[in-house]
Structure 1
Amino acid sequence: MAYWLFKTEPDAFSLDDLKNAPKQTTLWEGVRNYQARNFMRDGVKIGDLAMIYHSSCKQVGVVGIATVTKEAYPDPTQFDLSSDYYDAKATSKKPRWVVVEVTYQGHLKKLVSLKDIKANNNITEIALKKGGRLSVMPVSENDWDEIIKMAK
Structure 2
Amino acid sequence: MRYWLYKSEPATWSWDQQKQKGASGEEWTGVRNYQARNFMREMKRGDRGFFYHSNEGKAVVGIVEVVKEAHADSTADDPKWECVDIRAVMDVPEPVTLDRIKAEPALTDMVLVNNSRLSVQPVTEEEFAHVCAMGGVDPQSAMKG
1:13 equivalent to 2:17? Answer no
Contact 1:61 1:114 in 2 (8 A): yes
Deviations 1:17-68 (A, max 9, x none): 0111254510000001110001001x111000010000011x1110000110
Q: Which runs of 4+ in 1 moved over 2 A?
A: none
One-letter amino acid matched to 1:100: V
Deviations 1:53-97 (A, max 9, x none): 00011x111000011000000101113xxxxxxxxxx2xxxx110
Residues 24 and 70 from structure 1, CA distance in 2 versus in 1: closer, same or farther, beyond 3 angstroms? closer
Identical amino acids, percent of aligned pairs: 42
Q: Paired residue for 1:45?
A: 44
| Farther off after superposition, 133-142 or 16-25 | 16-25
Contact 1:55 1:61 in 2 (8 A): yes
Q: 2:70 aligns with which of 65, 69, 72?
A: 72
Residues 104 and 24 from structure 1, CA distance in 2 versus in 1: closer, same or farther, beyond 3 angstroms? farther
Distance 2:95 2:29 in 1: 23
Aligned residues: 136
Contact 2:21 2:87 in 1 (8 A): no
Ranges in structure 2 where 5+ consecutive residues have no aligned partner: 137-145
Partner secondary structure for residue 113 of structure 2: helix
Q: TM-score, normalised by structure 1?
A: 0.85
Distance 1:25 1:71 in 2: 12
| Farther off after superposition, 120-129 or 20-29 | 20-29
Contact 2:102 2:108 in 1 (8 A): no
Partner secondary structure for residue 111 of structure 1: strand
One-letter amino acid matched to 2:80: R
Ranges in structure 1 where 5+ consecutive residues have no aligned partner: 80-89
Contact 1:125 1:139 in 2 (8 A): no
1:56 equivalent to 2:40? Answer no
Q: TM-score, normalised by structure 2?
A: 0.89
Alignment of 1:132-147 (within 5 A): 132-147=116-131
Partner secondary structure for residue 101 of structure 2: helix
Q: 2:104 aligns with which of 120, 127, 133?
A: 120
Larger Rg: 1
Instruction: From the two aligned structures, give the one with the greater helix fraction.
Output: 2
